[in-house]
Amino acid sequence: MNPFEQLSVYFQFPFVRYALIVGVLIALCSSLLGVTLVLKRFSFIGDGLSHVAFGAMAVAAVAGLTNQMIVVLPVTVLAAVLLLQSGSKAKLKGDAAVAMISVSALAIGYLLMNLFPTSSNVAADVCTTLFGSTSILTLSSWEVWLSVGLSVLVVAIFVLFYNKIFAVTFDETYAKATGTKTDLYNLLIAVVIAVVIVLAMNLVGSLLISALIIFPALSAMRIFKNFLAVTVFSAAVSVLAAGVGILLSILFSTPVGPSVVGIDLVVFGICWAIGAITGRRKKA
Partner 1 sequence: MAQIIATDLVVGYQTPLTPPLDFCIDKGEYWVIIGQNGSGKTTTLKTLLGLIKPYGGSLTMGGGLDKTKLGYLPQQTEVQRDFPASVYEVVLSGCLSKMGLRPFYNKTERQLARDNISKLGLSDLAKRPYRELSGGQQQRVLLARALCATDSLLVLDEPVAGLDPATTDEMYRLVKGLNQEGVTIVMISHDVDQALADCTHVLKLGKETFVGTVEQYEESRTKEEADHESV
Contact footprint for partner 1 (CB under 8 A)? 39, 41, 159-164, 166-167, 170-171, 173-180, 220-221, 224-230
Comparing CB distances to partner 1, the nearer of 64 and 179 is 179
Q: How far is the CB of 41 from partner 1 (least distance, A)?
A: 8
Task: Show Cβ contacts of residue 10 under 8 Å, excluding neighbours closer than 6 positions.
Answer: 16, 250
In one-letter notation, the amino acid at residue 126 is V
Comparing CB distances to partner 1, the nearer of 153 and 228 is 228
Give me the phi and psi of 91, to 5 degrees please.
-70, -35
Which H or E run contains 85? helix 69-88
Q: How far is the CB of 184 from partner 1 (least distance, A)?
A: 12
Q: How far is the CB of 223 from partner 1 (least distance, A)?
A: 10
Q: How far is the CB of 267 from partner 1 (least distance, A)?
A: 17
Comparing CB distances to partner 1, the nearer of 89 and 123 is 89
Comparing CB distances to partner 1, the nearer of 119 and 173 is 173
Candidates 39, 32, 34, 46; CA nearest to 169 is 39
Spatial distance between the Cα atoms of 209 and 59, rounded to a whole number of angstroms: 20
Dihedral sign of CA atoms 216, 217, 221, 226 in order: positive
Contact 180, 168 (CB under 8 A): yes
Q: How far is the CB of 175 from partner 1 (least distance, A)?
A: 7
Comparing CB distances to partner 1, the nearer of 39 and 137 is 39
